[in-house]
Amino acid sequence: MPANRNVLAFVMAGGEGSRLHPLTANRCKPAVPFNGKHRIIDFVLSNLVNSEIYSTYLLVQYKSQSLIEHVRQTWTMARFMPQQFITVVPPQMRNGPEWFQGTADAVYQNIHLIESMQPDIVAVFGADHIYRMDVRQMIDFHIKSNAHASVATLPVELRECDQFGIVDVDDNHRIVDFKEKPKSARPMPGSRTHALASMGNYIFNADVLLQQLKRMHDNGETDFGKHILPSMVKSHKLVAYDFATNIIPGTEPYEEHAYWRDVGTIDAYYQAHFDTLGAQPRFRMTNRRWPIYASPDQAESAQIENGVINRSVVGSGSIVDGATLDHAMLRRSVLVERNARLEHCIVMERSRIGRGAQVRRAIIDQDNDVPPEERIGFNLEQDRKRFPVTPNGIVVVPAGYFPVRRAQSPFLAQIDESATLGEESTRMMEMLA
């Protein structure tokens, strides 16, 4: 990216995430945990930092407290470049008593941030996706194309077009039509089965964006996908950036090229976790040349007393005591007791799986104490009477559904102490910083 280009980023992190309920009952979608130690928001922020874009405003709205706390603990820019920032911006209501009415309205309500910083380029990115991307390559493409705005794109199946903004392009990548979540769409050039979809990541020339935001506000419009981009097709040069051309250093040959997942549903969220498992996963979480940063974790190392473990992740502070894990993901401070069995499961922080319990194809949210001999995922008809069950048969146990038992386990005090010490150590590190 040319050194003289001044880039300001807005990350749209206000999503309510209703399709991820009950995981979003008490947190917004970008704050939902992912894999052993991350949250969904970490992917876009890591991509921006790795791309040497250090000036980022994070626009939040719904149930944002856990996201704000995560950013405060994890994304202090002193870790990367003290003079730059990642700043959380809730609705300021500078133009009236209204929350953000749409993605473009969220930026418009903070238009003063653009005007005060006077960037050359403004990147507007979503916060809800699992992927790696070098944003500099998209900016270079934008500049070389002499575009006013660029949209990151990738192919999606025609049957999924109602979930995305769909673009039509000419032979020079110029966008000639943009429809937001159409019921049907024409196939993209060279395909009969796929259309070209927007990833929700945009690059704008700053002066053009300012003009469009003011015009949009005057017309009572609120959204990039529904209003600004479709209206710019005829009046400005919009180009489609091919995400498949993005090259990430350190990517292994066995990984899925241009991996990108919209984890907007429980089924998609669940499947994306298991794309990261194995010796040759579709998406490898550990890439030293393009890391996905996570919250600092001072908990003790995981402990395996004994048991059988197959292709699983065991988070820090967790203990497996004579249990069987098969394609299981344990986040921090999880206890799995003797003779319990987890099969294709995600278990979140501070949960305990009781002795002899059997759980399969399930997500156990945080602070659950699954009773001994409990069975989840074996009789979906019975499970639906207690829990949400997705169309693909994934059972979701809401946070705190099973009250915490205080009956002593050989490892319970150790788990509690590890979790507490980890939280206290994190707070102490923040104070010293």
Closest listed residue to residue 166, CA positions, set 186, 148, 149, 147: 186
The token pair at 400 is 């705190």
Residues in the chain, total:
433
d(CA 420, CA 317): 10
Contact (Cβ atoms closer than 8 angstroms) between residue 160 and residue 46: no
Q: Which residues on adjacent β-strands are paired with residue 415?
A: none
Q: In the structure encoding, which two tokens stand for residue 111, read together? A: 């238009």
181 known member of a binding site? yes
Strand partners, 397: 364
Question: Treating both helix axes as pointing N-terminal to C-terminal, what angle do 412-432 and 65-74 enclose, rounded to 10 degrees?
Answer: 70
231 three-state secondary structure = helix
Helix (H, G, I), strand (E, B) or coil at 176: strand
Q: Are 61 and 91 in contact (CB under 8 A)?
A: yes
Distance, CA of 162 to CA of 183 (rounded, Å)? 5
| β-strand pairing of 341-347 with 238-242 | unpaired
Provide the greatest CA pair distance for the chain.
69
Using omega within 30 degrees of 0 as the cis cutoff, is the peptide bond preceding 281 cis? no
Instruction: Confirm whether residue 165 is marked as ligand binding.
Output: yes
Q: Which of 396, 44, 421 is nearest to 202 (CA)?
A: 44
List binding-site positions: 165, 180-181, 198
Q: Which residues are annotated as part of the binding site for alpha-D-glucose 1-phosphate?
A: 165, 180-181, 198
